[in-house]
Structure 1
Amino acid sequence: MTRRIAPDNAPSLIPDFGYDPPDVPLAILHEDAHILVVDKPAGLLSVPGKLEGRQDCLITRLQAARWDALLVHRLDCDTSGVMIFARTKQAQGFLGQEFEQRRARKTYIARVWGEMAEDRGHVDLPLGSDWPRRPRQMVDHENGRPARTDWEVIGRHDSETRVRLHPLTGRSHQLRVHMLALGHVIIGDQIYATGPARDAPRLMLHSETLSLHHPATGELVTFRAPLPF
């Protein structure tokens, strides 16, 4: 039996929100002959969208400044933080394997609604698409793909909790749905939050660090993007 975890009053269809990407300069955290590391702003697509008027995106902006930038992975439009790009086909293939083989390690910071009672925990809930309400994802014990997240509290204040999230898998909307399943939706989430938890200037989710092996040296390197909230 498929188990759905979503607010009882969640809309049956997600409205098509207007796309108004931020007009901010590129924030390059690191570059060398093999890789580019960028701090993606919230509200900017990683790659061009399918709908009209959604061609402005991070890789387009980056390629205007660094023509050889190649996509390796993505972040959701509303998520900010560390993204890595390759500068050669060889580096792109190497970095792709870092993600596919789960050698890449990421941490995120989120502000979630309500005070979490425990200081740390682990979520192991399979996820799948909620097709009637796409792009929503849902906990699906029958057909979902394995999804695991470690979390730890780093602060509590005014009926919210600040947490550091360690995704052990890379499913679509994994952190958003896992926090929802715990009863602590990420503040500002226009897809999963309802009521006052929805009222924020942005999704309070930030890709804080990315650790992986450098494609040229094999050295384990870590990149960090400053927290914007």
Structure 2
Amino acid sequence: MSKIIDTFIAPPCHDKVEILYQDEHLVLINKPTGLLSLSGKNPQNIDSVHHRLVQIFPGCTLVHRLDFGTSGLMVIARNKAINAALCQQFSQRTVTKVYSALLCGHLHDNEGVIDAAIAKDPALFPLMSICEIHGKPARSDYRVVERFYHELENGSLLPLTRVHLTPQTGRTHQLRIHCQLLGHPILGCDLYGGLISPGTEHTPRLMLHASELHFTHPVSGESIKASNASPFGT
């Protein structure tokens, strides 16, 4: 099997990691777009959510990750026991994650389900692929919030659909590739066809934001329903 070489160098991220809640067991944060969740092997990719937070909360660990371009809610464990308890909730799929996104074009249906297996292919790295034979099961729900037009600098109108996406599984790039499969990629997605035409205007960030995170506090047993408004509209 050919060795995968990651040549990506993350540009500097000057936005802060916003701490929304903290106790002695866990931390809830709002991750900015353009920041790695975990530091890369390349020393130029040292800056990350974990690298920053471990300076504040020694011994903290990531329970889950968000893609480099995705912003929004993450829960961080402050010790190994809490990490194990939260990871179990994620693996048992008792955690609910809701994302806000802007999709290119106008979706026909107001809601629906995308059920398509996703596979890794070293030949396509960093892209994932839809593959029912070799892929792992992947399922995402979507619900339309608004259909509208965005006026570009050249005066043309770009049709967009604001949606809420709820992944039932947690595959790499799941929401991005599932939206591409719908024929409506996420605006600003450089991997799965969400970039607007060159010369129209500056390509925006990846318009994907983790806006809700529901889980059970592993110590108190309290039902946590965290929400964080999307920076590009609800």
Structure 1 length normalisation: TM-score? Answer: 0.89
Shift of residue 133, structure 1, vs aligned partner = 1.5
Relative contact order (alpha carbons < 8 A, sep ≥ 6): 1 or 2 greater? 1
Q: What are structure 2's unaligned runs of at least 5 residues?
A: 150-158
Could you say which residue in structure 2 is the equivalent of 1:133?
124
Find 2:215's aligned residue among 212, 215, 225: 212
* CA RMSD between the two structures: 1.9
Give 1:7-156 correspondences, 5 Å limit.
16-156=7-147
Q: Do the aligned residues in 2 keep the contact of 1:186 with 1:197 (CA within 8 Å)? A: no
Which position in structure 2 is the counterpart of 1:171? 171
Higher deviation after alignment, 47-56 or 36-45: 47-56
- How far, CA to CA, are the matches of 1:194 and 1:213 in structure 2? 35
After superposition, give the CA deviation of every residue in 1:181-205 in whole Å (9 maximum; x if it has no partner).
0000001011111652686221000
Alignment partner, residue 185 of structure 1: 185
**Given that residues 185 and 197 in structure 1 are in contact (C-alpha distance below 8 angstroms), is that contact kept between their aligned partners in structure 2?**
no
Secondary structure at 2:175's aligned position in 1?
Answer: helix
> Which SS does the other structure have where 1:132 is aligned?
helix
Relative to structure 1, is the Cα distance of residues 194 and 29 closer, same or farther in structure 2, using a 3 angstrom cutoff? closer
Look up the SS of the partner of 1:211 in the other structure: strand
Shift of 1:88: 2.0
Query: Closer, same or farther in 2 for the Cα pair 1:16/1:196, shift >3 Å?
Result: farther
Query: Sequence identity, in percent?
Result: 38
1:52: Cα distance to partner? 3.6
User: Structure 1: 5+ residue runs without aligned partners?
Assistant: 1-13
Is residue 16–residue 32 contact of structure 2 (8 Å, CA) maintained in 1? no
Distance 1:87 1:52, change over 3 A: closer
Task: Determine helix, strand or coil for the equivalent of 2:161.
Answer: strand
Per-residue deviation, residues 139-184 of structure 1 (Å, max 9, x unmatched): 1011111000010000111101010000000000000000000000
Q: Is the 8 A contact 2:37 2:50 kept in 1?
A: yes
Q: Distance in 1 between matches of 2:53 and 2:195?
A: 36
Distance 1:75 1:57 in 2: 11
TM-score, normalisation: structure 2: 0.87
Alignment partners' CA distance in 1, 2:117 and 2:162: 24
2:104–2:160 Cα contact (<8 Å) kept: yes
**Alignment: residue pair count:** 217
> 1:147–1:174: 8 Å Cα contact kept in structure 2?
yes
Report the AA paired with residue 215 of structure 2: L
Report the Cα distance in structure 1 between the residues aligned to 2:63 and 2:205, rounded to whole angstroms: 25
* Pairwise CA distance, 1:18: 4.0
Residue type of the alignment partner of 2:203: A
Q: Which residue identity lines up with residue 38 of structure 1 in the other structure?
A: I
After superposition, the C-alpha distances for 1:3-31 in whole angstroms (9 at most, x for unaligned) are xxxxxxxxxxx995541132123300110
User: Is 1:224 the counterpart of 2:207 in the alignment?
Assistant: no
Distance 2:169 2:197 in 1: 26
Structure 1's consecutive aligned runs of 4 or more residues displaced over 2 angstroms after TM superposition are 14-18, 197-201
- Matched residue of 1:99: which SS? helix
Contact 2:20 2:28 in 1 (8 A): yes
User: Given residue 65 of structure 1, which amino acid in structure 2 is its aligned partner?
Assistant: I
Query: Does the C-alpha gap of structure 1 residues 195 and 210 become closer, same or farther in structure 2, counting only changes over 3 Å?
Result: closer
